Chains A and B, each alone.
Chain A
Amino acid sequence: MSSSASATPTAPTALIADDEPLLRDSLQRSLGLLWPELRVVASARNGREAVEMFEIHRPDIAFLDVHMPGLNGMEAARQIARQAQVVFVTAFEDYALQAFERGAIDYLVKPVDEVRLADTVGRLKERLAERSRQPRGPAGQAALEAVIDELARRMARPATGSTAAGSALASDAGPLQWIRASVGSTLKLIPVDEILFLRSDEKYTLVVTAEGEALIRTPIRELIERLDPQRFVQVHRSVVVNLHAISHVTRGPNETADLHLKARPEVLPVSRSYLHLFRQM
């Protein structure tokens, strides 16, 4: 390819990205035996480094570990795939293998089998030769993107350290799953499922679990918007209760009711406007 600025234009180049150093070295050694002409020009410890090194070295091939910290292999591939042959490397991940098979994407399974690696090397050589005659068509690119999309969805990709300190709400989107509450000098993390009820207490909101209580600053009306409505309901201007925590309901005078809890002695008021939630079926 004319764009390759390498001194020996015929020598193919490669990048290896894996967060585990022994595996990077091992793959490089195996490639050295099977494909002596291949020059490994860069090895990266994570997806971000892989993209950076790719920009610098512009290798023909990128071996990307699917599971890496920060930017993972899928995300790195999105940025690289247009300009290089990508081979995914993964440990036993059923869903990943299925996606690769279906999309006819090249992949290696760790520990990498020599015979399998030889196949991949053969295919890569063919493709590189083909590509020097005609660049990769848009159809191939779309297929790769589709596989990456599917994988990204299946992997439930971990967010990269977006900890908004100070906020009691631990994640930014979707239904709330954890609540941060300061108890004394420590910050406690409370899974939302464990909350029995919330009660507003002037400027604060009291979070009550079977094990104890904690105060947070987030007002109850902000919390209720982020909680699963199938599970948490407002029963009073100042009270939100976890439906699973209720043991029974007793009717009171004047169209009100009292909620009794399974794990706590508190009795919670239900005001008239929320009483319809507890009418008998």
Chain B
Amino acid sequence: MSTPVLPVSPPEPPHPAWHGFVSYLTPQRVLLALALATVFALALQPIFITPFPVLLGRTMFVGMLALLAFSAAGQWPRRLPRWWARWLFQVVVVAAAVPVATLAVYMVAVGGDFSSFVESESRMLGFLWIAGSGLVVGPLLAMGALYRQRDAEARNQALSFELERSELERQALDARLRLLQAQVEPHFLFNTLANVRALVETGSPQAAPVLRSLIAYLRAAMPRLQGDSTILSDEVALVRAYLELMHLRMPDRLDYVVDLPPELGGLRFPPMALLTLVENAVRHGIDPSEEGGRIDVSGALHEGQVRLWVSDTGVGMTQSMGSGTGLRNLRERLTLFYGAGASLALTENRPHGLCAEVCFTPQ
């Protein structure tokens, strides 16, 4: 598709790093950190002279700071050197955060006087106890959390792969079912037979060629279970047979030209795809028009890309076109057949009529 007329500003990028940071701080993790801090405060209390609430405050502060450091290291910096694994970085940051946080707590306790902190043996001991136990537990917890997270991600990914696969399988099945349903319409068949009978009754020499076209059409259009692909020249023969029959029925209203470059004839092609477009052009373009019109079926190969188009001068856009379900089904089939690069677009002709164009890279 071509570029739009006006440039369009992309949406504001959200702040994924912040989101990631916040999402790390799950209530479970915060509660776990606080609970462990309490356990350590209780365990350390007998050997401390500090009152329990103060001790608890210190261990909790260290625990929370370690958790924040863990979360932050999960997001920042955005890029790490290649030899630095993210999980290792996080563990190291947690290990570094514990003594720093403990030191910060004690600096507050001594009012920022570093020398008095170093000289007080009990404070040094307290620092070593808290920092030491934090150093043992913090990195272990960080590794545990990382392991669980990776496990969950792997499961998520497996689940989304599974979903995607079943979605593709469903699409393939749907496309096949629709192809089966796209049988010969009784209305078309009986109307055409009525015309053939009229030719036979009057002894018209046209009768035999018309019957040949009908047989060619029926042979190709009968539902087939096997055979997911034909070649384009077969499809074009089918289109010609169909248009010949329609021209017989509405000689004063339908003109057509089918002109495809012969080098495209050998390409693999999903059966009935081009015919569907031609049938649409007749049904929604020519048939509703009192004056009728002309249908052009053509194609081109350009830089490895194949374009096929069906263009008509019929009534164009009307309510009788429905909601485009047929078009969507056809697009799905083309995508299944040629991959995501295939496209189908509908444009309006001047002064009236529609043009359907298929674009794909042949396999």
Interface residues of A (CB under 8 A from B): 19-23, 25-26, 29, 45-46, 48, 67, 69-70, 91-93, 109-112, 156, 158-163, 170-171, 174, 177-178, 180, 182-184, 186-194, 199, 201, 204, 206, 211-215, 250, 252, 258, 266-269
Using Cβ atoms and an 8 Å threshold, which residues of chain B touch A67?
187
How far is A91 from B186 in the complex, measured between Cα atoms in Å? 8
Contact at B317–A170, with CB atoms within 8 Å? yes
Contact at A26–B290, with CB atoms within 8 Å? no
Tell me whether B119 is interfacial, beta carbon within 8 Å. no
How far is A19 from B253 in the complex, measured between Cα atoms in Å? 9
Contact at B4–A215, with CB atoms within 8 Å? yes
Which residue of A has the minimal Cβ distance to B283?
Answer: A158
Contact at A250–B194, with CB atoms within 8 Å? no
With contact pairs A162-B318, A215-B4 given, residues A112 and B194 touching in the complex (Cβ less than 8 Å): yes
How far is A69 from B282 in the complex, measured between Cα atoms in Å? 12
How far is A93 from B186 in the complex, measured between Cα atoms in Å? 8
Tell me whether B252 is interfacial, beta carbon within 8 Å. yes
Closest chain-A Cβ to B334's Cβ sits at a distance in Å of 12
How far is A186 from B355 in the complex, measured between Cα atoms in Å? 10
Using Cβ atoms and an 8 Å threshold, which residues of chain B touch A269?
11-12
* Pick from B2, B193, B201, B289: contact of A161, CB under 8 Å: B289
How far is A171 from B1 in the complex, measured between Cα atoms in Å? 24
Apart from the given pairs A26-B201, A111-B197, A191-B323, 16 other A-B contacts in the complex at a CB distance below 8 Å: A23-B191, A46-B290, A69-B253, A70-B288, A92-B190, A93-B187, A111-B194, A159-B320, A160-B315, A161-B288, A162-B318, A189-B347, A189-B354, A190-B346, A194-B324, A204-B6
Contact at A183–B2, with CB atoms within 8 Å? yes
Which residue of A has the minimal Cβ distance to B316?
Answer: A163
Tell me whether B251 is interfacial, beta carbon within 8 Å. yes
Using Cβ atoms and an 8 Å threshold, which residues of chain A touch B321?
177-178
Contact at B2–A158, with CB atoms within 8 Å? no
Contact at A91–B14, with CB atoms within 8 Å? no
How far is A189 from B195 in the complex, measured between Cα atoms in Å? 35
Closest chain-A Cβ to B330's Cβ sits at a distance in Å of 12
Number of A-B contacts defined by CB within 8 Å = 162
Contact at A214–B198, with CB atoms within 8 Å? no
Contact at A184–B318, with CB atoms within 8 Å? no
How far is A171 from B317 in the complex, measured between Cα atoms in Å? 8
Interface residues of B (CB under 8 A from A): 1-2, 4-6, 8, 10-14, 19, 186-187, 189-191, 193-195, 197-199, 201-202, 248-253, 287-290, 292, 315-325, 327-328, 343, 345-348, 352, 354
With contact pairs A22-B249, A29-B201, A161-B352 given, residues A178 and B290 touching in the complex (Cβ less than 8 Å): no
Contact at A91–B317, with CB atoms within 8 Å? no
Closest chain-B Cβ to A164's Cβ sits at a distance in Å of 9
With contact pairs A46-B290, A211-B343, A250-B19 given, residues A159 and B318 touching in the complex (Cβ less than 8 Å): yes
Q: Which 10 residue pairs across A and B have the least CB separation, nearest first?
A: A191-B324, A158-B320, A212-B1, A111-B194, A26-B198, A187-B348, A92-B186, A110-B194, A22-B198, A161-B315
Residue of A20, A22, A269 with most chain B CB atoms under a 10 A cut-off? A22
How far is A23 from B317 in the complex, measured between Cα atoms in Å? 29
Contact at B352–A189, with CB atoms within 8 Å? no
Using Cβ atoms and an 8 Å threshold, which residues of chain B touch A29?
201-202
Using Cβ atoms and an 8 Å threshold, which residues of chain A touch B328?
191, 193-194
Closest chain-B Cβ to A20's Cβ sits at a distance in Å of 5
Contact at A161–B316, with CB atoms within 8 Å? yes
Closest chain-B Cβ to A27's Cβ sits at a distance in Å of 9
How far is A163 from B193 in the complex, measured between Cα atoms in Å? 34
25 contacts between A and B (CB under 8 A): A20-B195, A22-B195, A22-B249, A23-B194, A69-B288, A69-B290, A91-B191, A91-B194, A111-B190, A111-B197, A171-B319, A178-B317, A180-B348, A182-B5, A183-B1, A183-B4, A184-B5, A186-B348, A189-B347, A191-B327, A193-B324, A206-B4, A215-B6, A258-B14, A269-B11
Closest chain-B Cβ to A228's Cβ sits at a distance in Å of 10
Contact at B249–A20, with CB atoms within 8 Å? yes
How far is A147 from B31 in the complex, measured between Cα atoms in Å? 74
Which residue of B has the minimal Cβ distance to A71?
Answer: B290
* Pick from A23, A177, A211, A268: contact of B198, CB under 8 Å: A23
Contact at A268–B318, with CB atoms within 8 Å? no
